[in-house]
Amino acid sequence: MAATVIDGKAFAAKVRGQVAEHVARLKEEHGITPGLAVVLVGEDPASQVYVRSKGKSTVEVGMNSFEHKLDADTPEADLLALIDQLNNDPKVHGILVQLPLPKHLDEDLVINSIAPEKDVDGFHISNVGLLGTGQKSMVPCTPLGCLMMLREHHGSLSGLDAVVIGRSNIVGKPMAQLLLGDSCTVTIAHSRTKDLPDVVRRADIVVAAVGRPEMVPGDWIKEGATVIDVGINRIDAPEKGEGKTRLVGDVDYASAAERAGAITPVPGGVGPMTIACLLANTVTAACRASNLAEPEGLTA
């Protein structure tokens, strides 16, 4: 059986379309234009690409994008002052500080200085705590995107056996909370797990979020399982020519696709969903800020 390919690019486009509709409605009915502020400290090339891409997507769905670029040696106090200003700016509904920060800045302190209701990355400890107790929160974008794809494919997730491989604060742990919130039986596996193949083999849903190229072979996948591959790893691709590289996930796609019922490709699976969910979180934050009903289907 060939697996259904979960097309993250198409699904992300659909989510962005929904966001755009909500933005248009907020403008028309309430005179509100959702705004996302992105703060970049320093000149990390990858971060610059991400920030540019986020700004472009924000404008495309009709929202305001506010970019703040600070020197790599910006004192912490200046960064905190900027965040304070954004916290108090009613035109700004979402604030994202691009990580990683230069080493002289305390990432936890900076993230926790963002007003939790504007923390569209969902990294503030209050949001972690709200998610961890089943309350309304801002949910980290990547796991939210995975959840949306799983709900779209399965309808209800209740009672399904889900295995999350990886226990990062950004993906693995919040993913487990979200799956638990949707009533999966959730197992969190990681580098210390004794018999990972056995753990993965019993899962109806496998979310791989480790960052190790193709570490999950197809024969670990239960026949018919849904595989969500969060990994984006660049590896050498000599077959494409000397010095060439290609992107692969944490799952060996070719062999896993032979057994899975559904699978996300890399690239074009989870990746495109992350920015779409950032936009979704921003429109959700804008609605909450004005005590308006949240857009359906765009939150956990």
Annotated ligand binding at 167? The verdict is yes
Pairing of strands 233-236, 245-248: antiparallel
Q: Which is nearer to its own copies, 75 or 159 (CB)?
A: 159
Contact 70, 37 (CB under 8 A): no
Catalytic annotation, residues: 54, 98, 121
Nearest approach, Cβ of residue 255 and its own copies (Å)? 24
Structure tokens at 261: 């019922």
Q: Which is nearer to its own copies, 70 or 130 (CB)?
A: 130
Nearest approach, Cβ of residue 129 and its own copies (Å)? 3
Nearest approach, Cβ of residue 134 and its own copies (Å)? 7
Amino acid, res. 248 = V
Annotated ligand binding at 212? The verdict is no
Residue 193 burial by Cβ neighbours in a 10 Å radius (0-12, 13-18, 19+):
middle
Q: Which is nearer to its own copies, 146 or 266 (CB)?
A: 146
Cα distance between residue 213 and residue 180, in whole Å: 27
Sites of contact with its own copies (CB under 8 A): 108, 124-135, 158-161, 167, 169, 173, 176-177, 180, 183, 185-190, 192-194, 199
Nearest approach, Cβ of residue 125 and its own copies (Å)? 3
Residues 111, 115, 119, CA angle at the centre, nearest 5°? 60
Cα distance between residue 280 and residue 161, in whole Å: 27
Q: Which is nearer to its own copies, 15 or 209 (CB)?
A: 209
Neighbours of 91 (CB within 10 A): 12
Residue 196 burial by Cβ neighbours in a 10 Å radius (0-12, 13-18, 19+):
middle
Cα distance between residue 145 and residue 139, in whole Å: 10
Q: Alpha-carbon Rg of the chain, whole angstroms?
A: 19
Nearest approach, Cβ of residue 167 and its own copies (Å)? 6
Cα 206 to Cα 45, 135, 160, 165, 250, distances in angstroms: 32, 25, 11, 8, 11
Q: Which is nearer to its own copies, 18 or 168 (CB)?
A: 168
- Binding-site residue set: 166-168, 232
Q: Which residues are annotated as a binding site for NADP(+)?
A: 166-168, 232
